Amino acid sequence: MSWIETDDGVGLYTKDWGEGRPVVLIHGWPLSADSWEHQARALVQAGYRVVSYDRRGFGRSDQPLGGYDYDTLADDLAAVMDALELDGAALVGFSMGGGEIARYMSRHGGKGVERVAFLSSVVPGLLQCEGNPDGATPQMIDKIKEGIVQDRPAFLQSFLKLFYGVGAFRSPVSQAVLDWNWGIALQASPLATTACVDAFGMTDFTPDIAQIGCPVLIMHGTADGPAPHTATGLRLSRMLPRARYVELPGAPHGILETHAAEVNAALLDFLGQR
């Protein structure tokens, strides 16, 4: 474990496990690097060096007042890449973490990156527009922020059920997993939790995608509530026709937990391709 300081003096809690070709795991909202437990274990056992860090404002990282826009978050990723001297790396982003990858590839020219993977990602953008009729409206984004401000613990409990596709007659994860994730989410700064909703909800990554020329893996569940696959994964696959697109029928947003075996197998196969 180590702390990496960003250009604006924010400390990022970073895990650096194993040896071999580096794989950088970038977590989703509102969790931390701990959400990669199943993937980190499998990748280390397969002989990879696995780097994961808590986004600023989340987990054990510092909680500054600002810096929750994607330009700054991509610069934070660059700080991790530079501090650990990572080269020939694979970047793997889940949900909001896909945005850091897209912006890093354009803003930092993909420095040190060999391939990228988008898992349940918000890329190319959640916001509803002419080319994205299934996206979220600004009113929906505002409602999420209102819920966080009014009763953050209750909102996060409800959100995590949607995250994992928990319903009246279906629970793909245990109550213990929901409780664990809730505890992680409550660790985050309330300010960061709210500000990041604007970042992942309102950002259009279409210009960034044009800068991605390396091999790409896209994985998305067809029952993803927070990031509908028709607005994100499927649309991204059409923008990157050479990418490998893996659709998980009936899978919710939280595939790192609910479909860990399928995600791990797809990642290892993708990373093993030369």
Q: Which residue numbers are catalytic?
A: 95, 224, 253
Instruction: Report helix, strand and coil shares of the chain as percent, to nearest 5.
Output: 45, 20, 40
Residue 75: both structure tokens together? 């610069």
Structure tokens at 5: 């300081």
Burial 24-47 (b: 16+ CB within 10 A, else e): bbbbbbbbbbbbbeebbebbbebe
Q: Closest Cα to residue 251, out of 224, 232, 226? A: 224
112, 84 Cβ separation under 8 angstroms: no
Write the single-letter amino acid at 6. Answer: T
